[in-house]
């Protein structure tokens, strides 16, 4: 996990992501404390699919453990769906670790369906992510 964090969240990488006009960031706040985070990708910023004109990727939805069960993840998901519609995309998609049953069930509850799988390397550990998508209309 530390290797992944060290590689994925360097100052340079985050700066590059923040200046990418095809990525969108949202932070949920409770008073002055960030408690949730959403990152969306469109166009060539998407990590897997090359369906740039018709899709939007949810790359990250993170919620602090202290806020699990408080519907914050749902609020961030609703924002992603709203942006997908505003941008005129046909569908949104994401990858989720197959063993994260809680997240998989939330996505299924929100109308996502599995369409593929891919390997996500966490250090030397190869994990299977479910690729899921939801049509907008």
Residue ranges per structural domain of the chain: 2-135
Tokens 């806020």 map to which residue? 67
What is the pTM (predicted TM-score) of this model? 0.82
Specify which residues 114 forms β-bridges with. 132
**Please, which pLDDT band fits residue 1 given cuts at 50, 70 and 90?**
low
pLDDT-derived band of residue 19, with 50, 70 and 90 as boundaries?
A: confident
Q: Which residue has the tokens 């914050």?
A: 72
CA dist 91 and 69 (Å) reads: 26
pLDDT for residue 89 is more than 70: yes
Q: So which residues are the catalytic ones? A: 107
**pLDDT band, very low/low/confident/very high, at 123 (cuts 50, 70, 90):** confident
Judge residue 73's burial from the number of C-beta atoms within 10 Å of its C-beta, 0-12 exposed, 13-18 middle, 19 or more buried: buried
Q: Which residues contact 61 (CB under 8 A, 6 or more apart)?
A: 36, 37, 38, 73, 76, 77, 80
Domain spanning 2-135 has what CATH number?
A: 3.40.630.30
Q: What is the mean pLDDT of residues 87-101?
A: 93
């Amino acid at each position: 996990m530390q290797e992944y964090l060290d590689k994925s969240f360097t100052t340079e990488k985050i700066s590059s992501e923040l200046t990418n006009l095809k990525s969108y960031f949202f932070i949920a706040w409770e008073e002055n404390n960030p408690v949730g985070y959403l990152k969306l990708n469109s166009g060539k910023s998407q990590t897997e699919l090359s369906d740039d004109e018709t899709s939007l990727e949810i790359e990250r939805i993170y919620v602090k453990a202290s806020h699990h069960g408080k519907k914050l993840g749902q609020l961030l998901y609703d924002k992603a769906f709203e942006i997908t519609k505003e941008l005129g995309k046909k569908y949104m998609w994401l990858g989720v670790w197959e063993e994260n049953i809680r997240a998989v069930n939330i996505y299924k509850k929100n109308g996502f369906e599995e369409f593929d799988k891919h390997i996500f390397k966490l250090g030397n550990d190869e994990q299977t992510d479910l690729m899921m998508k939801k049509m907008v209309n």
